[in-house]
Amino acid sequence: MRELIAILRGITPKEACSVAEVIIQSGISIIEVPLNSPNALKSIELMVKSFDKEIIFGAGTVLKKNQVQDVFDCGGRIIVSPNCSGDVIRETKLKGLISLPGVFTASECLCALENGADGLKFFPSSIIQPEGFQAIKAVLPKDTRSYAVGGVDSNNFLDWFRAGVTGFGVGSSLYKVGDSKKNISAKAKRLVVAFDQAQASNFRRGD
C-alpha cells in the first residue's frame, strides 16, 4: 500500500463515492475526509459501504475525542488531526484505529508517540521543509512513520523522501471543490506516478 493519503476537503456525500472511485482506480488506497467538510461523516459512511475493505477511509481535522467515536461509528479506520492532542490519540487507540496527529516540533512528536500515535503528520510541511524535518527526525525512533502534509505535491516528493519521510497527505493538488471526475482522475494518476518514481529514485540512491 502506498503511503499516500488523499485529502478530500469540502467533498459532499453526493459526490463522495464517485470521486473515491476514480482516486482508488489511480492506485491511492487511503482517503481522508476532513470533518469540516459538509456532512463529512455521511461521506465516510457511504464510501466505507461502497468499496473494498482493503481501502482505508477516515477523517481529518479531528479535534475532540468524541469525534473519534463518531468516525468509528461510521466505519472510519484512520484519525488525522492538525494538532497533537493526547486525548484524541488515546481515544483513537482505544477504538483500534490508526492515529496520525499533526506535529510541528520535536516536543509534539515525542508527546504524540508517548500517547500511542501510529505515525506523525508534519504540518504544515511548507513551513517545516525537508531540512527542518530531517533535523527533527534525528531525535525520533528510527521506525517512526512520518507524513508531510500541507504544501506537498509531485514536484517535491523526492526532496521529502531524501529527507527520510515515509509518505504524504495531498489535498489541493488532488481535489478541489467543483473539480470534474476526469480532472481528479488525471491529477491522481500523476501523483501516483510521481510518488512511485520518487520512491524508486530514493531507493536507488540509498543503494
Which residues are identified as catalytic?
A: 32, 121
Eight-state DSSP code of residue 105:
S
Biggest CA-to-CA distance, the chain = 47
Grid cell, residue 118, equals 501510529
Query: Rounded to whole angstroms, how far apart are CA atoms 48 and 42?
Result: 10
In 3D space, the residue among 16, 20, 92 whose CA is nearest the CA of residue 56 turns out to be 20
Identify how many contiguous H helices and E strands the chain contains and give both numbers. Answer: 8, 9
For 29-65, the DSSP string reads -EEEEETTSTTHHHHHHHHHHHS-TTSEEEEES--SH
Q: How far is CA 50 from each of CA 29, 46, 113, rounded to the nearest angstrom?
A: 14, 6, 33
- Contacting residues for 114 by C-beta, under 8 A, at least 6 apart: none
